[in-house]
Amino acid sequence: MQTTMTKISTAAAYATLACTSLDRSRRFYRDALGFDTEDLPDPPGGVMVHCGAGTGLSLYERPTAPNCDTTLCTFIVEDIEAAMSDLRDHGVKFEEYDLAWLKTVNGISTAGTTKASWFKDPDGNILSLVQM
């Protein structure tokens, strides 16, 4: 017996991130990261960040900063060093980790042929770059 389900496996997806200032977050994602942004209508309001390949991030405002210690969004890049250099030129600071399971050198962790780096938005949301 086969069950019919709504197929979401081909649906577009976007992450939703909390921030304490839509204006500050809009500037960060637009000016530092280089994405186009669009104000969402009220209610509920917010900002849509248009990323590559039809993907995006939805930002909404709340009174307190989010408190999450895991990666919330990953951007796949072809050349992580070039992407990091460009972002550093726009004021982005990359995290350094020295853990039993994760170590970065100049902001980059390497596992086989995959390289990854992490940085935070103005509210501490953890974002990453990955080169596969």
Split into its structural domains, the chain has a count of 1
Give tens-digit pLDDT for 73-120. 999 999 999 999 999 999 999 999 999 999 999 999 999 999 999 999
SS3 of 5-71: CCCCCCCCCEEEEEECCHHHHHHHHHHHCCCEEEECCCCCCCEEEECHHHCEEEEEECCCCCCCCCE
Q: Which domain holds residue 109?
A: 14-131
Q: Does residue 1 lie within any of the structural domains?
A: no
Higher pLDDT, 3 or 90: 90
Chain-wide mean pLDDT for the chain?
93
Q: Does residue 6 lie within any of the structural domains?
A: no
Q: How confident is the model at residue 2 (pLDDT cuts 50, 70, 90)?
A: low
Q: Does residue 55 lie within any of the structural domains?
A: yes
Q: Does residue 8 lie within any of the structural domains?
A: no
The whole-number pLDDT of residue 3 equals 59
- Residue 123, CA distances (Å) to 11, 35, 59, 63 in order: 28, 18, 11, 11
Of the candidate ranges 13-17, 56-60, 121-125, the one whose mean pLDDT is the lowest: 13-17
The whole-number pLDDT of residue 4 equals 61
Letter for the amino acid at 65?
A
Q: How confident is the model at residue 42 (pLDDT cuts 50, 70, 90)?
A: confident
What is the chain's alpha carbon radius of gyration, rounded to the nearest angstrom? 17
pLDDT at 5 over 80: no
Q: Does residue 2 lie within any of the structural domains?
A: no
**Which contiguous run of DSSP H or E holds residue 128?**
strand 126-131
- Residue 1, CA distances (Å) to 4, 6, 49 in order: 10, 16, 42
| Half-sphere CA count of 54, side-chain side, radius 13 A | 4
- Residue 99 sits in a domain of what CATH number? 3.10.180.10
